Amino acid sequence: MTISLREQWLGNIRGDLLAGLVVALALIPEAIAFSIIAGVDPKVGLYASFSISVIIAIAGGRPGMISAATGAMALLMVTLVKDHGLQYLLAATVLTGVFQIIAGLFKLGNLMRFVSRSVVTGFVNALAILIFLAQLPELTNVTWHVYAMTAAGLAIIYGFPYLPVVGKAVPSPLVCIVVLTGVAMALGLDIRNMGDMGELPDSLPIFLLPDVPLTLETLQIIAPYSLTLAVVGLLESMMTASIVDDLTDTTSDKSRECVGQGLANIGTGFIGGMAGCAMIGQSVINVKSGGRGRLSTFMAGIFLLIMVVFLGPWVSQIPMAALVAVMIMVSIGTFSWDSLRKLREHPPSSSVVMLVTVVVTVSTHDLAKGVFAGVLLSAMFFANKVGRLMQVKSQAQDDGQTRVYTVTGQVFFSSADRFVDSFDFKEAVRQVRIDVSRAHFWDITAVSALDKVVLKFRREGAQVEVMGLNEASKTMVDRFGLHDKDGAELPLGH
């Protein structure tokens, strides 16, 4: 379903504004934490989250999706920051954006159609687990007050929507944050709050050029990092876009999203921010809080900047227990519980792909590795399944002097060996006819297998005729085949 631009911005004003406020509150501690991971000042992550959210709201292809500084990207920056400093990171962020715009122009976002549903489910489940695990440090070696506050926060989040009238009017995560902050301040509870995460900036970001020499050496330093950041950022963004598509029952423009992510990172690099991408956790918070349009993403960035720059003393009083409760809600809501119930119902290969994606992602804390593992395994299972559908049947004609083989299915690298093994080369016949009108030869391996079959029969003294090649297969055979060319003979060892 396509939504007009006006509807994307103004179709859900109240819901988008309230959702944007909740998301902004959830973005602050994560942006600070990701800055610490990357080895930079907290304001680098906070400025990035502001800039990316605002730009992607305008230029992105997935309304309602939240993009900001992320942990997956922060981990890739550690070595660059350590070895070369912040300025090289800013230059790498700009170049990351350039690579992503190029990817969008070449429509590489459409490659998402090769990611199976099992991989997407595994990605979602792994991310839900990682989100939950990320909250455990806030619940370890703490006083009972923290557990009580977290439990109260969950009770508010899940109970408030059932209240008449107001239950549906205000997002329950926002109520949770406001109420628990008020309780903590009123009782003077000595528990960890947002101010303990790091110092909030007290000024607006300004435009600046990365202070690096414009030389080939600089490009050689930052290009490998930028390319990796671009790939991981787009992969996570495309996966998140697909998930938000499902949650909102709408479609997104993947190529435009690639370009939008690129523009966002370029703009971010010029105001002193680190590279970022889409965030599934915050995107789910946005959708669950009633956010649907571009306004929610835009206001998340605006609210974040206002809160950290102008309302810092108040924001710093928000107890981490309130945000932990919100993130636990996100973890529970993100996990596909239905996938566990259907493990036995789904084909074994689909379940294995899903579980491998989860295990690799959780064990490495790298979403890209998990998705790549799942996609690779899906491709292997698919190739094996399609290869097994290939059949070769035969029948004798002319009193046993002629053998007709009928090939059905797809012949390619996975089924080539079975194709060759289906022929009886020792049978004493004068003529062999191979009917491939119901088959398709996909690659050089398949053409090589056909060559092998024809040349082996000819070596045994039989005349061979290949019948029914479709146009695509005939083109492959004419270009790469050997059996119909002068001087063709079977390679030694076969």
DSSP helix/strand/coil, 471: helix
Whether 40 and 153 share a structural domain: yes
Residue 152 zone, left/alpha/beta (φ > 0; ψ -120 to 50; rest) = alpha
What's the domain range around 399?
389-480
Residue 170 structure tokens? 């205000």
Residue keyed to tokens 């290949």 = 466
Residue 382 domain-assigned (yes or no): no
Is the separation of the CB atoms in 93 and 247 below 8 Å?
no
Whether 369 and 394 share a structural domain: no
Whether 313 and 183 share a structural domain: yes
- Compute the distance between CA of residue 402 and CA of residue 35 in angstroms, rounded to an integer: 75
What does each of the 494 residues of the chain score in pLDDT, given as a tens digit? 567 888 999 999 999 999 999 999 989 988 988 887 788 999 999 999 999 999 999 999 999 999 999 887 887 898 999 999 999 999 999 999 999 999 999 998 888 778 888 988 998 898 889 888 888 999 999 999 999 999 999 999 999 989 887 777 788 888 999 999 999 999 999 999 888 877 888 899 999 999 999 999 999 999 999 998 998 899 889 989 988 998 888 999 999 999 999 999 999 999 999 999 999 889 988 998 899 999 999 999 999 999 999 998 888 999 999 989 988 888 888 888 989 988 888 889 999 999 999 999 899 887 778 888 999 999 999 999 998 899 999 999 988 899 999 999 999 999 999 999 999 999 989 999 999 999 999 999 999 999 999 999 999 999 999 999 999 999 988 888 877 665 555 554 44
Burial 312-322 (b: 16+ CB within 10 A, else e): beebbebbbbb
CATH number, domain with residue 470: 3.30.750.24
Whether 400 and 347 share a structural domain: no
Residue 383 domain-assigned (yes or no): no
Q: Tell which of 377, 398, 428 closes a domain.
A: 377
Whether 256 and 351 share a structural domain: yes
Residue 216 domain-assigned (yes or no): yes
> What Å distances lie between residue 264 and 17, 50, 56, 275, 287, CA to CA?
21, 10, 6, 9, 21
Residue 301 domain-assigned (yes or no): yes
Indicate the number of domains in the chain: 2
- Compute the distance between CA of residue 194 and CA of residue 215 in angstroms, rounded to an integer: 41
Residue 143 domain-assigned (yes or no): yes
Is the separation of the CB atoms in 66 and 23 below 8 Å?
yes
Whether 447 and 320 share a structural domain: no
Whether 246 and 144 share a structural domain: yes
Whether 308 and 215 share a structural domain: yes
In this prediction the pTM is 0.78
Whether 292 and 252 share a structural domain: yes
Q: Tell which of 377, 401, 429 closes a domain.
A: 377
Long-range contacts, 330-333 (Cβ 8 Å, 24+): 330/128, 330/131, 330/281, 330/284, 330/285, 330/288, 331/128, 331/129, 331/131, 331/132, 331/135, 331/281, 332/128, 333/284, 333/288
Whether 366 and 421 share a structural domain: no
Residue 488 domain-assigned (yes or no): no
Return the pLDDT at 2: 61
Residue 448 domain-assigned (yes or no): yes
The torsion angle over the Cα atoms of residues 455, 456, 458 and 463, rounded to 10 degrees, is -100
- Compute the distance between CA of residue 476 and CA of residue 473 in angstroms, rounded to an integer: 5
Whether 344 and 405 share a structural domain: no
Whether 250 and 169 share a structural domain: yes
Is the separation of the CB atoms in 74 and 39 below 8 Å?
no
Helices (H), 311-415: 312-315, 320-334, 337-341, 348-364, 367-388
Residue 491 domain-assigned (yes or no): no
